[in-house]
Structure 1
């Protein structure tokens, strides 16, 4: 079992914050998070590209190259693998592993389950040590059919997935059912209106991802700050000092 896989413990879930650049990832690591993910929305938005459209392959690999040698375990959100061809997805996974990533998140986008399973198998073959988190979007963008969810995840597990991910699922009973059904870690996306982290632990969840939440909160805080200043109010909230941010990249204070 790899060090990253060992962090996935049902009842004591890995809380996975997701970064979008060097500074955000290193700031999270400095707060004690042993593992950091990337957010495809954050990477895409920061680059002026669409999310979920296979448009950020190069940007994602470039970020992995920047972060892969950091003092944390890195898992990468690779959308649907940025390709339909399983061999191309496998090659991308090999490149991620080569720069130091320890995990990859692959979403099915409700495409054919067989094709997604083939991608997972290709990743398993090309990068055997990479933790493959297989995501189904049955709740995220589908109708949340429990039977379809299980069918897809079983196919992905059989193809070699190390964990299964169901973003958009917030119903406690269904979460507990899935956690008990599979012999691999269940990952859910944290929802501000869904079960709390302790509740998810009680349900048997092994990994709780924050997805794009931190990026969206950071953008929201920036807008709130400039609005306060424009209105003559002191900005609320806290901000890292210039020196702290400069130190994240080894920069010099000017």
Structure 2
């Protein structure tokens, strides 16, 4: 198995490949092993997907739970794993750095820090200081933890592309290895953003997002799915349960055959 430092090095290199890194987001250990078996080269946790496994909404997981979940995902596969650590569970830079240190200790290859405190966007100066503290903690040891700086404007009701770009530029200067503005998916907006930064940019696939080939042509270097795979799985459960409740039929078993095949082939320890 590769060492943590080797995984982190590999993870960073995957952002410079001939095509965008496709990085899906498992929500539990079963989905982690399935996605690894399907041949993806790196994975990332999802705060919303993991919260759903606990019967909670996004933002309702604490730091200890998030770090323990990330460590379990890391232990389940021999792939680079990045963690969605929300705002690193701290407002001040010192607390952010402590969370990053825990992320390194969990064996991760990367993680993210966002500029939303659960109620509002941080002032840009504080936000940049938080990224700087995260980068210092992520990069000072033998493991170069790949740090993603996130600007949350466009999923928090602030559709201000100029401010988003300015923030990402500050996060780049503060030491972020990858930049991410969830919610920015429109091609012209992405062109403007990509022209103004010098780090790999991640896009999350969400309703209305261009296909991978178009994102690749624009210059996007990484594509994640956030909680959408977890929501798709929950949607399949709702459809199956509704069929059983309302019609008393079992059409969902046809779709379940794929799951059964994956279950046997992926989870067979023998």
Q: Same fold judged by TM-score > 0.5?
A: yes
> Residue 133 of structure 2 corresponds to which residue in structure 1?
122
Worse-matched range after superposition: 41-50 or 78-87: 41-50
Task: State whether structure 2 residue 248 is matched by structure 1 residue 232.
Answer: yes
Worse-matched range after superposition: 2-11 or 137-146: 2-11
> Residue 59 of structure 2 corresponds to which residue in structure 1?
52
Q: How does 1:1-254 map to 2 (within 5 A)?
A: 2-9=9-16, 12-52=19-59, 55-69=61-75, 70-109=77-116, 110-128=121-139, 129-230=144-245, 231-233=247-249, 234-235=251-252, 236-238=254-256, 239-241=258-260, 244=263, 248=267, 250=269
- Counterpart contact for 2:138–2:147, Cα < 8 Å: no
- Counterpart contact for 1:44–1:56, Cα < 8 Å: no
Worse-matched range after superposition: 132-141 or 41-50: 41-50
Mind listing any 5+ residue stretches in structure 1 that lack a counterpart?
Answer: none
Change (3 A) 1:229 1:157: same
Cα distance in 1 between the residues matched to 2:166 and 2:34: 39
Worse-matched range after superposition: 32-41 or 238-247: 238-247
Cα distance in 2 between the residues matched to 1:202 and 1:140: 24
Worse-matched range after superposition: 169-178 or 74-83: 169-178
Number of residue pairs aligned between Structure 1 and Structure 2 = 250
The structure whose residues are more often helix, as a share, is 2
What is the RMSD of the two structures over their aligned residues, measured on CA atoms? 2.1
Q: CA deviation at 1:83?
A: 0.9
Q: CA deviation at 1:10?
A: 7.5
- Counterpart contact for 1:121–1:160, Cα < 8 Å: yes
| TM, length-normalised to structure 1 | 0.91
